[in-house]
Chains A and B, each alone.
Chain A
Amino acid sequence: GAGVSQTPSNKVTEKGKYVELRCDPISGHTALYWYRQSLGQGPEFLIYFQGTGAADDSGLPNDRFFAVRPEGSVSTLKIQRTERGDSAVYLCASSLIAGGQIDTQYFGPGTRLTVL
């Protein structure tokens, strides 16, 4: 079946602009995760959805970052007033089960965000 998809694959924007990054998880996966990967680093957790609700947003760096998953499937990561330091690859992952169990997370190809 289809894997996790993310759009756009690349996004170039100017400092101060607003951007939206989209993630379409594997069909039937209830859990969805967003990560940010800076150059030369491992991914860093941002937010986790269980169904439609954000179960854990402890990784969001500040209130400029927000994510939604209104119907429990597709998710959008929104960044307001972008800064050059937001430049990174934003990865989305999904897993079949959620909550207190451990399940394998499958990643999408990522969106490379560049803030000029």
Chain B
Amino acid sequence: AQKITQTQPGMFVQEKEAVTLDCTYDTSDPSYGLFWYKQPSSGEMIFLIYQGSYDQQNATEGRYSLNFQKARKSANLVISASQLGDSAMYFCAMREVGSGGGADGLTFGKGTHLIIQP
């Protein structure tokens, strides 16, 4: 079974609109972290935002916020007031910590290709 599922292969959004990128995850580990990364066409993975499984509040970083719904095992990324420069691939990733977890690296989803249109 997929540990990280991103169901939107591609999205087109008008500039200045808000956009939500979906991510669901699967783990039996009570301690884990969820990350979102942006990968522009240049190829570098840019860290955007982090949410810990025990964090009580949803993470926010500037125009990025993470809609964390633990019971549903979802961690959607919300980008407010989208800009042309937001066009890129976006990856959701998870790191499990406990004994039931996987490898020490991040497990990534397949990504969502976001295109912001003027």
List residues of A whose CB falls within 8 A of some B CB: 33, 35, 40-46, 48, 55-56, 58-59, 89, 91, 93, 100-102, 104-110, 112
Contacts and interface: CB of A to CB of B under 8 A. Distances in A.
Contacts of B103: 45, 48, 56, 58-59
A102 B47 contact: no
A111 B77 CA distance: 28
A107 B105 CA distance: 12
Nearest to A33: B105
B5 to A, nearest CB: 11
A58 B32 CA distance: 19
B11 interface: no
Nearest to A47: B105
Interface of B: 4, 31-33, 35, 37, 42-47, 50, 52, 91, 93, 95, 97, 103-111
Given A42-B91, A109-B42, A110-B43, A102 B97 contact: yes
Given A56-B104, A101-B97, A109 B47 contact: no
Nearest to B94: A102
A106 B93 CA distance: 13
29 contacts: A33-B105, A33-B106, A35-B106, A40-B110, A41-B111, A42-B4, A42-B91, A42-B109, A42-B110, A43-B91, A45-B104, A45-B106, A48-B105, A55-B104, A59-B105, A89-B43, A91-B45, A102-B33, A102-B52, A102-B95, A104-B50, A105-B47, A107-B37, A107-B46, A108-B44, A109-B42, A109-B43, A109-B44, A110-B43
A109 B40 CA distance: 11
A104 B109 CA distance: 17
Contacts of A105: 35, 47, 106
B42 A43 contact: no
B107 to A, nearest CB: 7
Contact of B105 (A35, A108, A112): A35
Contacts of A35: 105-106
